[in-house]
Structure 1
Amino acid sequence: MALQITAQNGTFLVHGQLNTTTKQSFIIHFEEIIELHHNIVINIDGITEIDEAGLEGIKSLIAIAVQNQKMFSVIGNGCKNIYQDFNCSQVA
């Protein structure tokens, strides 16, 4: 399934697979959104599969948002391994 991104009430809904195949288009799409908006919220409830490249894509967007002094949030319950990776990698 291709990655689909829609906007609803200021939140960007992501559906499908976020993996090596879709990572680059995901990053390019959200780089433009980061330029246009101050507060970006991504809902991952619709993500059915994510691999390491997909996780790196999300991390890249977080870094881009921080560099541009923008707020960037990931919400939802899609793919539990996203949270496992971020809990392990973001130790203060």
Structure 2
Amino acid sequence: MHVNITKQKNLFFLKGDLNSSNFKKVKKKINNFLKKNHSVILNISEVKEMDSKTVNSIVNLFTKAIDHDKEINLVGYGTKDIYDELMTRNII
């Protein structure tokens, strides 16, 4: 499966299917961006499918960002599952 990533300033648009193998590419881009910037917005409104490992990876990325005084915001359909997981783990 494939995921397409486009960026406008600090907003990353993800389109397609997100899974544990292609999320590595997304994670690398976000980590590189956060090295030079304080915050990033991930728009996942056009993500058709996301496996549980990817949700876990996003939660871990979110945690790492908080630990480094960085900020990740999520927008789009499907973010509720991620935010629920973040709340379950007392991250937010």
Give the TM-score normalised by the residue count of structure 2: 0.79
SS in 1 for 2:2: coil
In 2 relative to 1, CA 2–16 (structure 1 residues): closer, same or farther, beyond 3 Å? Answer: same
Unaligned runs of 5+ in 1: none
- Checking the alignment, whether the CA contact within 8 Å between 2:59 and 2:85 is kept in structure 1 is no
Aligned-residue sequence identity (percent) comes to 24
Equivalent residue, structure 2, for 1:56: 56
Equivalent residue, structure 2, for 1:18: 18
Pairing of 1:1-92 with structure 2 (within 5 A): 1-78=1-78, 81-82=81-82, 85-86=85-86, 88-90=88-90
Q: Distance in 2 between matches of 1:34 and 1:60?
A: 15
- Checking the alignment, whether the CA contact within 8 Å between 1:26 and 1:57 is kept in structure 2 is no
In 2 relative to 1, CA 66–4 (structure 1 residues): closer, same or farther, beyond 3 Å? Answer: same
1:67-90: CA deviations, max 9, x gaps? Answer: 110111111114764455445544
- Quote how far apart the aligned CAs of 1:61 are: 1.3
Unaligned runs of 5+ in 2: none
- RMSD between superposed Cα atoms in Å: 2.3
In 2 relative to 1, CA 91–38 (structure 1 residues): closer, same or farther, beyond 3 Å? Answer: closer
- Checking the alignment, whether the CA contact within 8 Å between 1:3 and 1:22 is kept in structure 2 is yes
Q: Distance in 1 between matches of 2:2 and 2:91?
A: 33
- Checking the alignment, whether the CA contact within 8 Å between 2:17 and 2:49 is kept in structure 1 is yes
